[in-house]
């Protein structure tokens, strides 16, 4: 098997629109092109990474180029993908295509470039991913495990402006979330925006996505996640990740720490119990694994009192947490000193952040 990897960080936004086309904003387009070689971190040796055509003339200047070369990863522009696949198949090699996340736009983009539909998932499968990526899955989690987390309130799905008004009247401190959004975007806090703007935002999201998720506002002290892989109905634990977010909930970056170090931090700052992972695995096995295959991340948080919210959201795609885990294991548990030095140079202070990379000139 030779896997072809694609970095498409816009996937959550495309799922929200549920469209065959997507025009990214400038920041997302910059992220997609500048970090096109990011999959080199988790790709296997001799895999292929597909990059946008505009990267073709400066591939060697992109972050992670030396990791790709070290792992003998082949880099090809999107316009050449069909010919490369035909060449691999003529040699009897099996092909797998692995984007950052599946959506209808990436399928459409690949078919436009003559990738055979037999190598791609169906639109029905993507519809299933979209349904499972809805933030209502957090409500489903708490319906199973609420008794184990009495201090966590299950989020509510509000499908009308009247329900939103009633919720706001009853809950002066709250957080609203779009059903589908990315990296902490699509989140509104009651103390960060005037009420008039909140109502305008809520009405817009209800119109576009059918409703909003509403929950109490947590006094967040830690952001972390569990990372998983699902393969043919089997759920396996990849590791824990610790990250930072802004006061508005936007993702800032991951720390490159070992599982043991993250658990030590959690146990010193909140009431972490390893049983949480058992509940999560059971939920994934029952609700996600029968339908979805691929990487998963479950975001969590701890509040100032030490209570843990074990299911802030579920991401059915590759995550920056998976990236951090792979970096930590390759750089600090591996034997290759060159790779270790490269990663330490790219990520000073064991911290991984897209914004750092965007400003990295190496």
> Does 329 lie in the same domain as 318?
yes
Cα(325)–Cα(6) distance, integer angstroms: 19
Length of the chain as a residue count = 362
The mean pLDDT of the chain is: 89
Same domain, 313 and 345: yes
Q: Which helix (H) or strand (E) holds 83?
A: helix 81-90
Pair 81, 50: CB distance under 8 Å: yes
Residue 334's pLDDT is what? 52
Q: What is the pTM of this model?
A: 0.91
Looking at residue 303, what is its pLDDT? 94
- Average pLDDT estimate for 202-226: 94
Quick one: pLDDT at residue 81? 96
Q: Are residues 10 and 102 located together in one domain of the fold?
A: yes
- Do both 345 and 308 map to the same domain? yes
> Any idea of the CA torsion for 160, 163, 166, 171, to the nearest 10 degrees?
-110
Whether residue 208 is found in the same domain as residue 224: no
* 249 and 336, same domain (yes or no): yes
Residue 179 predicted with pLDDT over 90: yes
Does one domain contain both 152 and 90? no
- Where a domain ends, among 177, 197, 216? 216
Comparison of pLDDT for 209 and 184, the residue scoring more = 209
Domain termination site, one of 152, 184, 216: 216
Specify whether 207 is located in the same domain as 237. Answer: no
Q: How many domains does the chain have?
A: 3
CATH code, domain with 343: 3.30.470
Task: Look at residue 129 and tell me if it is in a domain.
Answer: no
Distance between CA atoms of 252 and 220, rounded to whole angstroms? 15
DSSP, collapsed to helix, strand or coil, labels residue 98 as: strand
**Boundaries of domain holding 150:** 136-216
């Amino acid at each position: 098997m030779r896997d072809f990897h694609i970095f498409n960080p816009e996937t959550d936004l495309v799922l929200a629109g549920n469209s065959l086309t997507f025009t990214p904003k400038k920041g997302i387009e910059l992220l997609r092109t500048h970090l096109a070689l990011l999959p080199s971190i988790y790709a296997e040796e001799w895999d292929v990474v597909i990059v946008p055509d505009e990267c073709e003339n400066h591939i060697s200047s992109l972050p992670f180029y030396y990791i790709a070369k070290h792992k003998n990863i082949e880099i090809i522009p999107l316009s050449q993908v069909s010919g490369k696949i035909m060449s691999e198949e003529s040699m009897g090699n099996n092909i797998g295509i692995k984007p950052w996340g599946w959506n209808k736009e990436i399928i459409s983009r690949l078919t436009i470039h003559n990738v055979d539909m037999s190598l791609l998932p169906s639109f029905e499968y993507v519809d299933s991913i979209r349904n499972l990526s809805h933030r209502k899955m957090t409500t489903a989690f708490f319906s199973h495990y609420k008794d184990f987390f009495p201090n966590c309130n299950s989020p509510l799905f509000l499908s009308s402006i009247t329900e939103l008004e009633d919720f706001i009247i009853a809950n002066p401190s709250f957080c609203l979330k779009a059903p589908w959004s990315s990296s902490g975007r699509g989140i509104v806090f009651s103390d960060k925006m005037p009420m008039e703007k909140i109502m305008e935002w809520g009405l817009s999201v209800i119109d576009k996505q059918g409703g909003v998720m509403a929950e109490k506002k947590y006094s967040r002290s830690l952001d972390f996640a569990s990372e998983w892989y699902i393969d043919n109905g089997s759920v396996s634990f990849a590791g824990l990740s610790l990250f930072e977010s802004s006061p508005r909930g936007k993702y800032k970056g991951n720390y490159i720490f070992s599982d043991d170090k993250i658990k030590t931090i959690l146990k010193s700052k909140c009431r972490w119990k390893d049983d949480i992972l058992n509940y999560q695995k059971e939920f994934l096995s029952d609700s996600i694994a029968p339908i979805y295959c691929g990487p998963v991340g479950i975001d969590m948080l701890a509040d100032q009192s030490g209570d843990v919210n074990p299911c802030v959201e579920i991401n059915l795609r590759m995550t920056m947490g998976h990236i951090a885990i792979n970096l930590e294991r390759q750089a600090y548990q591996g034997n290759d000193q060159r790779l270790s030095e490269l990663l330490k140079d790219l990520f000073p202070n064991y911290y991984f952040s897209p914004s750092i990379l965007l400003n990295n000139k190496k």
